[in-house]
Chain A
Amino acid sequence: MRCSDVEAFWDEMREGVEARSEHVLAHLRRCRTCQEAFEQCEGVAYCLNCLPTVEPPTNLVPRILEHIASMRSRSRTTTGTDDFARINSPLGELIVAWRETGITFVGLVRASDVETAWERVERRLRRPLRESVPPDWVVEAVGRFFETWQVDMARVDISGLSDFEQAALRKAAQIPPGEVRSYGWIAREIGHPQAARAVGQAMARNPVALLFPCHRVVDASGALHNYGYGIEVKARLLRMEGYLKSGA
Chain B
Amino acid sequence: MVPQTRTAERKAAASAPTTLRSADSVPSVERFERIVDDYQRRLYGFALRMTGNREDAEEIVQDAFVRAFRALGKMTEEQRSELRLQPWLYTITLNVTRNRLRSKRPTNVALDALADPDALLNNTQEGPEQPEQIVERGTDLALVEQALLQLPMHLRAAATLRFIEGRSHPEIAEILNQPIGTVKSHVHRAVRILRRILGPQVGRIAPSEEPANAV
A interface residues, Cβ below 8 angstroms from B? 7-8, 10-12, 15, 36-37, 39-57, 60-61, 63-65, 67-69, 71-72, 197
Are B205 and A43 in contact (CB-based, < 8 A)?
Answer: yes
Majority DSSP secondary structure for residues of A touching B: helix
Q: Which of B48, B59, B164, B202 makes the CB contact (< 8 A) with A197? A: B59
The chain A residue with its CB closest to the CB of B28 is: A72
Enumerate chain A residues within 8 angstroms of B45, measured Cβ to Cβ: 53-54
A67 to B29, CA, bound (A): 11
Interface set, chain B 170-215, CB cutoff 8 A to A? 184, 187-188, 191-192, 194-195, 198, 200, 202-207, 211, 214-215
**Residues of chain B lying within 8 A (CB to CB) of residue A67:** 62, 66
Cross-chain contact A50 with B215 (CB below 8 angstroms): yes
Bound together, the chains give a CA A44 to CA B9 distance in angstroms of 19
> Are B69 and A68 touching (Cβ within 8 A)?
yes
Determine how close the nearest CB of chain A comes to the CB of B134; give it in whole angstroms.
Answer: 7
Which residues does chain A contribute within 8 Å of B195, judged by CB atoms? 37, 40-41, 43-44
- Give the docked Cα–Cα distance between A61 and B58 (Å): 10
The size class of the interface chain B forms with chain A is 35 or more
Q: Contact at B66–A53, with CB atoms within 8 Å?
A: no
Tell whether, in the assembled complex, residue A68 and residue B32 are in contact, meaning their CB atoms are under 8 Å apart.
Answer: yes
Give the nearest-CB partner of B214 in chain A: A50
A44 touches B62 (CB 8 A): no
Binary contact readout B93-107 vs A (1 if CB under 8 angstroms, 0 otherwise): 000000000000000
Inter-chain contact A51/B144, CB cutoff 8 Å? yes
The answer on a CB contact under 8 Å between A48 and B66 is: no
Taking CB as reference atom, which chain A residue is nearest B48?
A: A54
**Contacting pair A15 B168 (CB below 8 A):** yes
Number of cross-chain contacts by CB at 8 Å = 142
The smallest C-beta distance from A163 to any residue of chain B, in angstroms, reads 16
Whether B3 sits at the interface, judged by CB under 8 Å, is yes
Q: Are A46 and B3 in contact (CB under 8 A)?
A: no
| Known contacts A36-B200, A64-B65, A41 near B144 by CB under 8 Å | no
List 6 tightest A-B contacts by C-beta distance, closest first.
A39-B203, A40-B203, A43-B202, A42-B206, A48-B163, A56-B44
A57 touches B58 (CB 8 A): yes
Evaluate whether A49 and B40 lie within 8 angstroms (CB atoms) in the complex, with A39-B206, A54-B45, A64-B62 already known: no
Between-chain CB contacts (< 8 Å), 14 pairs: A7-B188, A43-B204, A46-B207, A49-B6, A49-B163, A50-B141, A51-B144, A52-B141, A52-B214, A53-B4, A54-B54, A64-B66, A65-B29, A68-B65
Question: Is the CB–CB distance between B58 and A60 below 8 Å?
Answer: yes
B153 proximal to A (CB < 8 A): no
Residues of the B chain whose Cβ atoms lie less than 8 Å from the Cβ of A45: 163, 191, 206
Residues of chain A within 8 A of B200, CB atoms compared:
36, 40
| In the complex, residue of chain B having the shortest beta-carbon distance to the beta carbon of A194 | B58
Contact residues in B for A64 (Cβ distance below 8 Å): 36, 40, 61-62, 65-66
Question: Which residues does chain A contribute within 8 Å of B36, judged by CB atoms?
Answer: 61, 64-65
Distance of A138 Cα from B184 Cα, bound (Å): 62
The answer, yes or no, to whether B80 is at the interface (CB within 8 Å) is no
Most buried by A among B32, B59, B65, B145: B65
CA distance A121 to B42 in the complex (A): 38
Whether B202 contacts A51 by the Cβ 8 Å rule is: no
Does A71 lie within 8 Å of B70, measured CB to CB? yes
Tell me the minimal C-beta distance from B125 to chain A in angstroms.
Answer: 15
Closest to A41 in B: B191
Q: When chains A and B are docked, how far (Å) is the Cα of A124 from the Cα of B4?
A: 46
